[in-house]
Amino acid sequence: MNFELTETRQMLQDSLRRFLSDRYTTEVRNKIIDSDAGLSTEIWDQLAELGVIGALFTEEQGGFGGAGFDVTTVFEELGRAGVVEPLLDTAILGGGLIAALGDADQQSLVERVIAGDLHLAFAHSEPGGRYDLNHVATSVTAEDGGVTLTGRKAVVANAEAAEILVVSARESGEAGDEDGISLFLVPRDAAGVSVRGYPLLAGGRAAEVDLDQVSLPESARLGAPGAAYSAIAERVSAASVALAAEALGAMETATELTRGYLLTRQQFGRPIGTFQVLQHRMADLWIELEQARSAVINAAGHLEGDARMRDLNVAAARNLIGRAGRLVAEDTIQMHGGIAMTQEYELAHIAKRIVMSDHRFGDTDHHLEQFIALSA
Amino acid sequence: MNFELTETRQMLQDSLRRFLSDRYTTEVRNKIIDSDAGLSTEIWDQLAELGVIGALFTEEQGGFGGAGFDVTTVFEELGRAGVVEPLLDTAILGGGLIAALGDADQQSLVERVIAGDLHLAFAHSEPGGRYDLNHVATSVTAEDGGVTLTGRKAVVANAEAAEILVVSARESGEAGDEDGISLFLVPRDAAGVSVRGYPLLAGGRAAEVDLDQVSLPESARLGAPGAAYSAIAERVSAASVALAAEALGAMETATELTRGYLLTRQQFGRPIGTFQVLQHRMADLWIELEQARSAVINAAGHLEGDARMRDLNVAAARNLIGRAGRLVAEDTIQMHGGIAMTQEYELAHIAKRIVMSDHRFGDTDHHLEQFIALSA
Amino acid sequence: MDLSYNADELAFRDEVRAFLEEKLPKEMSDAVREGRSLGKDGHDRWHAILNEQGWLAPNWPREFGGCEWNAVQRHIFEEECCRAHAPRIVPFGLTMLGPVLQKFGSKAQQDYYLPRILSGEDWWCQGYSEPGAGSDLASLKTKAVRDGDHYVVNGQKTWTTLGQYANWIFCLVRTDPDAKQQEGISFLLIDMDTPGIEVRPIILLDGTHEVNEVWFTDVRVPVENLVGEENKGWTYAKYLLTHERTNIAGVGFSQAGLDAVKRMARAEMSGGRPLIENPHFAARLARAEIDLMAMATTNLRIISRAASGQAPGVESSMLKVKGTIIRQEINDLARRAAGIYAMPFASEAVEGGNEPPIGPEGADHVGAQYFNNRKLSIFGGSNEIQRNIIAKVKLGGGA
Amino acid sequence: MDLSYNADELAFRDEVRAFLEEKLPKEMSDAVREGRSLGKDGHDRWHAILNEQGWLAPNWPREFGGCEWNAVQRHIFEEECCRAHAPRIVPFGLTMLGPVLQKFGSKAQQDYYLPRILSGEDWWCQGYSEPGAGSDLASLKTKAVRDGDHYVVNGQKTWTTLGQYANWIFCLVRTDPDAKQQEGISFLLIDMDTPGIEVRPIILLDGTHEVNEVWFTDVRVPVENLVGEENKGWTYAKYLLTHERTNIAGVGFSQAGLDAVKRMARAEMSGGRPLIENPHFAARLARAEIDLMAMATTNLRIISRAASGQAPGVESSMLKVKGTIIRQEINDLARRAAGIYAMPFASEAVEGGNEPPIGPEGADHVGAQYFNNRKLSIFGGSNEIQRNIIAKVKLGGGA
- Give the pLDDT confidence of D50-71 residue by residue, as tens digits: 999 999 999 899 999 999 998 8
Residue C399: is its pLDDT beyond 60?
no
Rounded to an integer, the average pLDDT of A237-259 is: 98
Is D266 an interface residue toward A (CB < 8 Å)? no
Class of domain B7-117: mainly alpha
pLDDT in tens, B187-244: 999 999 999 999 999 999 999 999 999 999 999 999 999 999 999 999 999 999 999 9
Query: What percentage of chain B exceeds 70 in pLDDT?
Result: 100
B47, B53 in Cβ contact below 8 A?
Answer: yes
pLDDT attached to residue C350: 44
Element (H, E) at C147: strand C143-147
Cα(B141)–Cα(B214) distance, integer angstroms: 10
Instruction: Provide the shortest C-alpha distance from residue D279 to chain C (in Å).
Output: 6
pLDDT in tens, B90-127: 999 999 999 999 999 999 999 999 999 999 999 999 99
Dihedral pair phi/psi, residue A263, rounded to 5°: -80, -25
Contacts of A128 in chain C (CB under 8 A): 268-269
Complex ipTM over 0.90:
yes
Kindly identify which residue of chain B lies nearest to residue A281, measuring between CA atoms: B277
CB B199 to CB D280 under 8 A?
no
Strand pairing report for B181-187 and B221-222: antiparallel
Is B313 an interface residue toward C (CB < 8 Å)? yes
pLDDT attached to residue D310: 65
Contacts of D203 in chain B (CB under 8 A): 342-344
Q: State the DSSP string of D78-106.
A: HHHHHHTTPPPPPHIIIIIIHHHHHHHS-
**Banded model confidence at residue D349, pLDDT cuts 50, 70, 90:** very low
pLDDT in tens, B223-234: 999 999 999 999
Q: Characterize C322-344 residue by residue with b for buried, 16 or more Cβ atoms within 10 angstroms of its Cβ, and e for exposed.
A: bbbbbbbbbbbbbbbbbbbbbbb
pLDDT in tens, C49-81: 999 999 999 989 999 999 999 888 998 999 999
Rounded to an integer, the average pLDDT of B153-180 is: 96
Topology adopted by domain A121-225: Butyryl-CoA Dehydrogenase, subunit A; domain 2 (2.40.110)
Rounded to an integer, the average pLDDT of D212-219 is: 98
**Banded model confidence at residue B335, pLDDT cuts 50, 70, 90:** very high
pLDDT in tens, A285-324: 999 999 999 999 999 999 998 999 999 999 999 999 999 9
Q: Most D CBs within 10 Å: which of A6, A267, A294, as the mutation test of the D interface?
A: A294
Burial class of C215 by CB neighbour count within 10 A (0 to 12, 13 to 18, 19+): middle
pLDDT attached to residue C346: 81
Query: What percentage of chain B exceeds 90 in pLDDT?
Result: 96
Contacts of C283 in chain D (CB under 8 A): 279-280, 283
Rounded to an integer, the average pLDDT of D292-300 is: 96
pLDDT attached to residue D72: 87
Instruction: Provide the shortest C-alpha distance from residue D6 to chain B (in Å).
Output: 41
What residues does each domain of chain B span? 7-117, 121-225, 230-375
Q: Within 10 Å of residue C190's Cβ, how many Cβ atoms?
A: 23
pLDDT attached to residue A10: 96
Contacts of C280 in chain D (CB under 8 A): 279, 283
Q: Most D CBs within 10 Å: which of C280, C284, C287, C290, as the mutation test of the D interface?
A: C280
**Banded model confidence at residue C248, pLDDT cuts 50, 70, 90:** confident
Query: What percentage of chain D exceeds 90 in pLDDT?
Result: 75
Is D287 an interface residue toward C (CB < 8 Å)? no
Residue D87: is its pLDDT beyond 90?
yes
D104, D40 in Cβ contact below 8 A?
Answer: no
Q: Within 10 Å of residue B229's Cβ, how many Cβ atoms?
A: 19
CB D270 to CB B132 under 8 A?
yes
Q: Which residues contact A220 (CB under 8 A, 6 or more apart)?
A: A146, A147, A184, A185, A186
pLDDT attached to residue D35: 78
Kindly identify which residue of chain D lies nearest to residue C277, measuring between CA atoms: D279
Cα(C58)–Cα(C46) distance, integer angstroms: 15
Contacts of A278 in chain C (CB under 8 A): 384
CB D345 to CB B198 under 8 A?
yes
Q: Characterize A266-292 residue by residue with b for buried, 16 or more Cβ atoms within 10 angstroms of its Cβ, and e for exposed.
A: ebeeebbbbbbbbbbbbbbbbbbbbbb
Instruction: Provide the shortest C-alpha distance from residue B168 to chain C (in Å).
Output: 32
pLDDT attached to residue D245: 60
Instruction: Provide the shortest C-alpha distance from residue B12 to chain C (in Å).
Output: 15
Superfamily of domain A230-375: Butyryl-CoA Dehydrogenase, subunit A, domain 3 (1.20.140.10)
Contacts of C279 in chain D (CB under 8 A): 279-280, 283
Could you report how far apart the first and last alpha carbons of chain B are, in Å? 28
Contacts of A277 in chain B (CB under 8 A): 276-277, 280
Is A290 an interface residue toward D (CB < 8 Å)? yes
Contacts of D343 in chain B (CB under 8 A): 155, 200-202, 206, 356, 359-360
Chain mean pLDDT for chain C: 91
Torsion of the alpha carbons at D51, D54, D58 and D61, rounded to the nearest 10: 110
* Domains along chain D with CATH numbers: 7-104 (1.10.540.10), 123-231 (2.40.110.10), 249-344+357-395 (1.20.140.10)
**Banded model confidence at residue D240, pLDDT cuts 50, 70, 90:** confident
Give the orientation angle of helix C315-338 with respect to helix C383-395, to 10 degrees: 150
Find, among D236, D238, D385, D245, the residue nearest to D306 by Cα: D245
B175, B137 in Cβ contact below 8 A?
Answer: yes
CB A295 to CB D283 under 8 A?
no
Which of D283, D301, D398 lies nearest to residue A368, judging by beta carbons?
Answer: D283
Phi-psi region of D268 (alpha: psi -120 to 50; beta: other; left: phi over 0): beta
Could you report how far apart the first and last alpha carbons of chain C are, in Å? 35
pLDDT attached to residue C310: 65
Least confident of A200-209, C384-393, D388-397: D388-397
Phi-psi region of C108 (alpha: psi -120 to 50; beta: other; left: phi over 0): alpha
Bridge-partner residues for D145, per DSSP?
D152
Is D349 an interface residue toward B (CB < 8 Å)? no
Instruction: Provide the shortest C-alpha distance from residue B340 to chain A (in Å).
Output: 23
**Banded model confidence at residue D350, pLDDT cuts 50, 70, 90:** very low
Angle, CA of B283, B284 and B286, to the nearest 5° = 65
**Which residues 150-189 in chain A show a CB within 8 A of chain D?**
none
Is C290 an interface residue toward D (CB < 8 Å)? no
Burial class of D16 by CB neighbour count within 10 A (0 to 12, 13 to 18, 19+): buried
Find, among B93, B353, B358, the residue nearest to B249 by Cα: B353
Chain mean pLDDT for chain B: 97
Q: What is the DSSP letter of B92?
A: I
pLDDT in tens, A93-146: 999 999 999 999 999 999 999 999 999 999 999 999 999 999 999 999 998 889
**Banded model confidence at residue B34, pLDDT cuts 50, 70, 90:** very high
Instruction: Provide the shortest C-alpha distance from residue D347 to chain B (in Å).
Output: 9
Which 3 state secondary structure label does DSSP give D24? coil
Least confident of C153-167, D259-273, D304-318: D304-318
Which is the catalytic residue, given D130, D210, D244, D315?
D244
D365, D35 in Cβ contact below 8 A?
Answer: yes
A32, A84 in Cβ contact below 8 A?
Answer: yes
Q: Same fold for the domain at A7-117 and the one at A230-375?
A: no
One-letter identity of residue A250: A
pLDDT attached to residue A268: 84
Rounded to an integer, the average pLDDT of C248-262 is: 93
Chain mean pLDDT for chain A: 97
Kindly identify which residue of chain C lies nearest to residue D277, measuring between CA atoms: C279
User: Using CB atoms, which chains have 3+ pairs under 8 A with B?
Assistant: A, C, D
Is C382 an interface residue toward A (CB < 8 Å)? yes
Which of A200, A275, A342 lies nearest to residue C344, judging by beta carbons?
Answer: A200
Cα(B180)–Cα(B168) distance, integer angstroms: 10
Question: Which residues of C are known catalytic residues?
Answer: 244
